[in-house]
Structure 1
Amino acid sequence: MVTKKTKIEIALERIEAEKRAREEAKRREKEQQDKLLMELGRVLADAAEKPASEWAAYRDRNVAELLAALGLEVVGTIASDDPRGEAEPVGAERPTGDADQPTGGSD
């Protein structure tokens, strides 16, 4: 017969295993996010700097078309009350940190 202490130990082991699984899932998700950001950066750089690039064709198109070409789904709709046409998609979150700061390398 299993004692109380053993049942508690088993429960704690299960909790630890679930915790490790969650941490591993978070690590994989961050890894995928980092990979996506690197790829987006490469695509944008190619579009801006390489006229012969397949991505240069998207210079005069909207971002949604570029994202669709990359196989990404655009979430939400763009609000039409922004006179500049630069409204953020509904449900989109702006990145935090230094993303809105100029990089200083565009003289």
Structure 2
Amino acid sequence: MYRKYIFIAAFATLTSYYKTGIGTIYEEHYEEAERLLTEIAEFAKETQGIDIFDEVQKSLETAKKVPYDASTSMALDFKNGKKTELENLSGYVQKPFMQKLYNELKKRENK
């Protein structure tokens, strides 16, 4: 489950936060993507004893290969004012960078 979650949670959070596609995240926010993916891997290890650190680079490689302007369903939900998966995708991981992004997105969701 975490192997799937890591990519979805990181890129849903980042595309929603920056209001842009996965390609832009990969090119302009690579370090932040890597940091967020690493935090998710750390959280999985600390809370569940699951080692998914190899998924950090795999997720970045996947992001590099998707269409440049590909979005995520959460980013589209934010854009269209619909109910989002913010709690499940961003609120679950209790790590500093994810929480910073989550807190900002939570403010936007309530507007």
TM-score, normalized by length of structure 2?
A: 0.26
Larger radius of gyration: 1
Higher relative contact order by CA 8 Å / sep ≥ 6: 1 or 2?
2
TM-score, normalized by length of structure 1?
A: 0.26
Between Structure 1 and Structure 2, the one with more helix by share is 2
